[in-house]
Amino acid sequence: MSSPRVLVADDDPAVLEAVADAIEDLGADVVCARSGAELIESFGERGPFDLVITDVSMPWMSGLQAMHSVRTAGLATPVIVMTALKEERVADQVRTLGRDAVLMRKPFALADLQQTARTLLSSRTATGGT
Amino acid sequence: MIGKRTTAHVFPEALVPILRERLTSMVEGLAEIPDEVLVDLLMTVFFAGLETHEGVYGPLRVVFLGRSEADLVMPEGADASAPVYALKVLRFETARPFSIPELVKLGVASADDRLYSAACVVDGRLALIGLAREGPSADADPFIKIVASRPGSLSVRSGRSWHVEYERGTIVTGGEDVVLTSSPVRHALELSAQAAGMEEESVTGYLDAVRALVAKLSAHGRGGILVISREEQPTVPRTGSYRMARDSSITSMLRLAHRIGPREDATSYGFLLRSAFLTEVERMVEEFGALTAIDGATVLSRGLALVAFGVVLPVRSRTVEVAGAETRPIDLEVRGTRHRASALYAADHPGSVVFVASEDGLVTCMLRESDGERVAVWHLG
């Protein structure tokens, strides 16, 4: 079976690198994006992906807006939304992305992120998803 | 549709010269099709459309393929790496007559808004040669599509663009209009689009979406109010309004589609994704446009997200100073509650554009510029 493909988006280079390394350790092929614009460009140019991991607050378009629009257009790619924002409405917005959407509030342990990613990736494999 | 409206009532055959003028450069082989064939095409769809009156049949959709014999129409410039067709013909073994009973029968299938009855010229006459499915790359297919969505109406489009609307004897063409020409309305909409994050080069898509929304407002014949707010989260009265939870906006879909392409090196996945975003824009325009038929105003944010519909705009006993942007004087007192409420809203919300349609489909546009004192009024139809 080929390696899962994961798109990671964060405008903080340190977070981006740390998250990308952690996901690569799971054996995944990782594509990095540094803004909402790069996230969507990567989606179009290098997709499809088995999992998206995105920050909320990013230049051009927030990760939540981008993923909500991607969902509206019919793509059910699982997503992990990372945020340092404390607002409860972020959790509500993540819930609207559906069952395969998980909110992780920063700071979090990379091991927890890996476990969540592993769970979402395995559920995609089990269901033969896109 | 906003634009020029004929004053005298005419039959659909009067659309023929307009189709030639507007579509010859886009539709392959149109110049060689005789007038009588085009008249037959329009009149047959029109009269078949009257049969939908019973409510049993859905809208009638017909695509005219001219003399094309291709079953799979690919977008211009497409290669094998982008297997996304513009139109796919599901051909009958034997051509059927192009007649009202046939179109009405096939109208059941074309209730799906991607499926059309396909007409061709066979031995100099129109014939139904099959069904045609609009594909993901239907943005600019080189054919004429005619939709009779209700009795007495015809919409003519090519690709996903509307070109002409015929409504109960009148023709409205998508020509010069206040949304697209240099006017305070266009300027106000451009400012809203930019505030919503649209890049300068993609503002045209925003204006096109607004034009399509106003076309829907005009076409349903029930009258209504459409507000394009200057604000991202405009406040609306709680009482009586259907206020919506925050959802994706037309602007976000357009931005994503623009970001992905079209590019020569786009992957087929990128091509599909872009098409999905544009299709969603089309659906949103259809849905928002349909909601304007409900009593009250439909309010969109500057990003063209649905904020609320069925909004009862207050009518207070207050004088609103209005000015005709055209030479005609404006007397709102004789235009009824809908127009007075809209003028008050425009007066209280500088920069927001308010479109008001009456039952006869005529549309009025109102705007108080951000630095202006008066509400300017344009008659669009």
Q: Which residues of A touch B232 (CB under 8 A)?
A: none
> Per-domain residue ranges for chain B?
1-171, 175-381
- Tens digit of pLDDT for each residue in B115-152? 899 999 988 899 999 999 877 655 566 788 898 877 88
SS3 B149: coil
Q: Can the peptide bond before residue B75 be classed as cis, meaning omega within 30 degrees of 0? A: no
Q: Would you place residue B170 in the very low, low, confident or very high pLDDT band (cuts 50, 70, 90)?
A: confident
* Average of per-residue pLDDT across B216-239: 87
Instruction: Compare CB distances from B266 to A44, A66, A75 and report the shortest one's residue.
Output: A44
The closest of A4, A10, A81 to A49, measured between CA atoms, is A4
- For residue A70, the model assigns a pLDDT of 84
SS3 B241: coil
Above 60 in pLDDT, residue B326?
no
- For residue B159, the model assigns a pLDDT of 67
- For residue B156, the model assigns a pLDDT of 85
Q: Are the Cβ atoms of B197 and A73 closer than 8 angstroms?
A: no
Q: What is the ipTM of this complex?
A: 0.75
Q: Is residue B276 within 8 Å of residue B248, measured between CB atoms?
A: no
Q: Is residue B330 within 8 Å of residue B324, measured between CB atoms?
A: yes
- Tens digit of pLDDT for each residue in A2-15? 899 999 999 999 99
pTM here is 0.68
Q: Are the Cβ atoms of B277 and A73 closer than 8 angstroms?
A: yes
Looking at chain A, which residue has its C-alpha nearest residue B281?
A73
| Contacting residues for A91 by C-beta, under 8 A, at least 6 apart | A103
- For residue B328, the model assigns a pLDDT of 46
What are the tokens at B323?
């000015």
* CATH assignment of B175-381, among 1.10.1060.10, 3.40.1700.10, 3.40.720.10, 3.40.1280.10: 3.40.1700.10
* Euclidean distance between CA atoms B193 and B196, whole angstroms: 5
C-alpha distance from B202 to closest chain A C-alpha (Å): 14
Instruction: Compare CB distances from B269 to A40, A47, A66 and report the shortest one's residue.
Output: A47
C-alpha distance from A30 to closest chain B C-alpha (Å): 18
Give the pairing of strands B87-97 and B125-134.
antiparallel
What DSSP line would sit under A52-110, residue for residue? EEEESS-SSS-HHHHHHHHHHTT----EEEEE----HHHHHHHHTT-TTEEEEESS--H
- For residue A79, the model assigns a pLDDT of 94
Min mean pLDDT across A63-72, A111-120, B97-106 is at A63-72
Q: Would you place residue B94 in the very low, low, confident or very high pLDDT band (cuts 50, 70, 90)?
A: very high
* Euclidean distance between CA atoms A94 and A89, whole angstroms: 9
Q: Is residue B313 within 8 Å of residue B337, measured between CB atoms?
A: no
List b or e across B15-32, with b for residues whose CB sees 16 or more CB atoms inside 10 angstroms: bbebbeebbeebbeebee
Angle at B293 between CA B196 and CA B245, to 5 degrees: 45
Tell me which of B168 and B212 has the higher pLDDT: B212
Tell me which of A108 and B278 has the higher pLDDT: A108
H/E segment holding residue A122: helix A110-127
Tell me which of B107 and A80 has the higher pLDDT: A80
C-alpha distance from B294 to closest chain A C-alpha (Å): 24
The closest of B278, B30, B29 to B160, measured between CA atoms, is B278
- For residue B80, the model assigns a pLDDT of 43
Percentage with pLDDT > 70 across chain B: 78
State the best of A39, A40, A90 to mutate against chain B, taking most chain B CBs within 10 Å. Answer: A40
